[in-house]
Amino acid sequence: MKKIQKYQNTKILVLGLARSGFSAAKLLHDLGALVTVNDGKPFEENREAQDLLELGIKVVTGSHPIELLDEDFTLMVKNPGIPYSHPLVQGALIKGLPVITEIELAYEISEAPIIGITGTNGKTTTTTMIEQILNQGMSRGKAYLSGNIGYPASSVARDVAKDDCLVMELSSFQLMGVIDFRPEIAVITNLYEAHLDYHGAREEYVAAKWAIQKHMTASDWLVLNWDQAEIRALAETTQAQVIPFSTKAKVDGAYALNGKLYYQTEEIMAINDLGVPGAHNIENALAAIAVAKLKGISTSVIREALQHFTGVAHRTQYVGQIHQVKFYNDSKATNILATQMALSGFEPGKVILLAGGLDRGNGFEELVPSLKEVKAVVLFGETKNKLRQAAQQAGVSIIEEAIDVASAVPLAYQLSQAEDVILLSPANASWDQYLNFEIRGEAFIQAFQALDEKVGKE
């Protein structure tokens, strides 16, 4: 990593731990900063705080005393999940203290170029596609996953060399805290309404996403979804070279035409050869193709990587099949749009949908057109009655209820026949029954495995 001197003997407050805060605190300590960490979890329950204290880092846990700001800090590094309305963040801003997230630190120390991927949907899949393609085709160095995908950027950046590449998934929360952050290539997969409880308004959310290109220049590339008018308008305001991708039109970038994927005039592969289903995955693949071509990866490598790409855990992940019935885990579908996109990837009349979860007060009228294409639904969780109403409105003839995901799987299998698809795509957050969507997805996988053990050999 670059041995920067700017933080030597400077007092810095790290607000919030978890993985990113822990990583940022350790990095800053190693760079010679005088670090204070503040986290709401009590010290006796806070393994990260205990570990940092052993390194000689000052820790304040259990509450967020506003008096902390009486110290002469020069910078606050904020956990991305902490809103800007937090009293300590507000106090820091009033004092004129810069407030950043740890991706800014990663940029400052990284010897490798950064490929940044953001958007409302498809970030993780696109990020993973890019990393796998690059690692199959790079002649020197390695591509490293980092950022919102689960690997703190400020930790990964410590270990990369100049021939490597940081492939970084970026959330709007992270991008709000950038000052000089500049990727070599940036991708915006799409923009829809999301996280308004955090951002307050759609305009603020879009502005946060658009910050990915804030410091890009004419020597950098910005890969954009050209099917969205809002993004086409934003493209007029960037200094970067714009590389469009589209599923609807031939563009000077990556596009789909007559069942095939192209980059400029070159045919890359047939859509049917993609290893993952769904219209949304065509978009993801096009974005990945554009990045791969910009990095000089051959068409044969791109084709092979995308043919063998089977998805990311909990994102339309192929789990296996029992007697020609295929099982897909899309537990990451925590909103209606994500479930709509998942359903679009399968043959009408063949899907048995498993859905339900936390009741956030919304209805499911928007899901009705997609439900018209399913064979049956198995519902669970707090929203099962609302989803039942939507399924009835859609004319779904088979509507069943289960206690949870584990009991929904064998029930769905009883309703299936050869060539059907059993799809967990809940359209809801998991928190009514599960700590997170990953645990919900694992429950689906374990239920599949138990069912396979029981009936798969029959």
Domain harbouring 367, CATH code:
3.90.190.20
- Pair (442, 361) in one structural domain: yes
Domain harbouring 183, CATH code:
3.40.1190.10
DSSP letter at 280 equals H
Give yes or no for a contact between 39 and 17, defined as CB atoms under 8 angstroms apart.
yes
* Strands (E) located in 40-104: 58-61, 75-78, 99-100
- Pair (253, 332) in one structural domain: no
- Pair (343, 236) in one structural domain: no
- Pair (297, 369) in one structural domain: no
- Pair (157, 183) in one structural domain: yes
In a domain, 211, yes or no: yes
What is the domain extent for residue 437? 317-453
Phi-psi domain of 419 (left: phi exceeds 0; alpha: psi -120 through 50; beta: other): left
3-class DSSP state for residue 382?
Answer: coil
> Which of 280, 307, 334 delimits the end of a domain?
307
> Which of 267, 286, 307 delimits the end of a domain?
307
- Pair (74, 122) in one structural domain: no
In a domain, 4, yes or no: no
In a domain, 312, yes or no: no
The set of residues, in sequence order, having a beta carbon less than 8 Å from that of 358 and lying 6+ positions away, is 381, 382, 383, 428, 429, 430, 431, 432
Domain count of the fold of the chain: 3
Per-residue tokens: 241: 């070279």
- Pair (133, 246) in one structural domain: yes
- Pair (335, 427) in one structural domain: yes
Domain harbouring 42, CATH code:
3.40.50.720
Q: Measured between alpha carbons, how far is residue 364 from residues 197, 339, 369 in Å?
A: 19, 11, 10
In a domain, 300, yes or no: yes
In a domain, 233, yes or no: yes
Give yes or no for a contact between 384 and 319, defined as CB atoms under 8 angstroms apart.
no
* Annotated binding-site positions for ATP: 119-125
> Which of 276, 307, 338 delimits the end of a domain?
307
Choose among 11, 25, 17, 26: nearest CA to 62. 17
In a domain, 168, yes or no: yes
- Pair (406, 393) in one structural domain: yes
* Annotated binding-site positions: 119-125
- Pair (248, 373) in one structural domain: no
- Residue 14 dihedral angles phi and psi, to the nearest 5°: -100, 115
Beta bridge partners of 263: 254, 266
Report how many helices (DSSP H) and strands (DSSP E) the chain contains, helices first: 17, 20
Q: Measured between alpha carbons, how far is residue 295 from residues 120, 133, 190, 192, 302 in Å?
A: 24, 10, 22, 28, 11
Mean pLDDT per segment of 10 residues, for the chain of length 458 residues? Answer: 95 94 96 97 94 96 96 95 93 96 97 97 93 96 93 96 97 92 98 75 91 98 98 98 97 97 97 88 96 98 95 86 95 91 90 96 95 97 97 97 98 96 96 95 97 83
What is the rounded CA–CA span in Å between residue 444 and residue 438? 10
Q: Measured between alpha carbons, how far is residue 110 from residues 77, 188, 214, 301, 320 in Å?
A: 18, 22, 18, 27, 39
**Pairing assessment for the beta strands 325-329 and 317-322 based on DSSP bridges:** antiparallel
Name the residue with tokens 């606050």. 76
pLDDT at 3 (0 to 100): 87
Q: Measured between alpha carbons, how far is residue 152 from residues 22, 122, 146, 339 in Å?
A: 9, 19, 6, 28
Output the furthest CA–CA distance in the chain (Å, rounded). Answer: 71
- Residue 51 dihedral angles phi and psi, to the nearest 5°: -65, -40
In a domain, 2, yes or no: no
- Pair (136, 234) in one structural domain: yes
pLDDT at 419 (0 to 100): 95
- Pair (264, 134) in one structural domain: yes
In a domain, 5, yes or no: no
